[in-house]
Amino acid sequence: MSKGILIIAPIFLALISSISIADDDSRQFVKLPEMMQKHMMSNMRDHLVSINKILINLANDQLDQAAEIAESRLGMSSLKSHGASHMAKFMPEGMQQAGTAMHRAASRFALKAQEGEVLPAYNALSEITSACVACHSGYRTR
């Protein structure tokens, strides 16, 4: 079994095990204009693709590539490309804080990955996914 599968499978299982049924969904509903909702969902899908690429690069001991993806697609330098300033005005403060925490964690991860040690990089990656989990646990747009 490849390293990538061993890493991705537990994360996938954790994500699907926390999905709640819509009727029991106690997360705060955030009403967005339809265009903004589509934009946000597109960003979230890109974030998932980016995290997957980061995991693959970590599993293949390609920390520099993982760092580049993290910073350019998730880190603080990615905010303009994601339209973050336009999105923020529609988000509650806690949702904004979770998003900012994720972007900052991605930039910290990129720096840690550039140091070349896999285990500290994985630990830093967990800060990114923890910010994602916090936001997705507290807020919904549908």
Domain extent listing, the chain: 33-140
pLDDT in tens, 48-91: 999 999 999 999 999 999 999 999 999 999 988 877 777 888 89
Question: What architecture is the 33-140 domain classified under in CATH?
Answer: Up-down Bundle (1.20)
C-alpha distances in Å from residue 71, one per residue of 12, 62, 64, 120: 23, 15, 11, 17
Give the three-class secondary structure for 141. Answer: coil
Judged against a pLDDT cut of 60, whether residue 29 lies above it is answered with yes
Give the three-class secondary structure for 91. Answer: coil
Q: Are 100 and 45 in contact (CB under 8 A)?
A: no
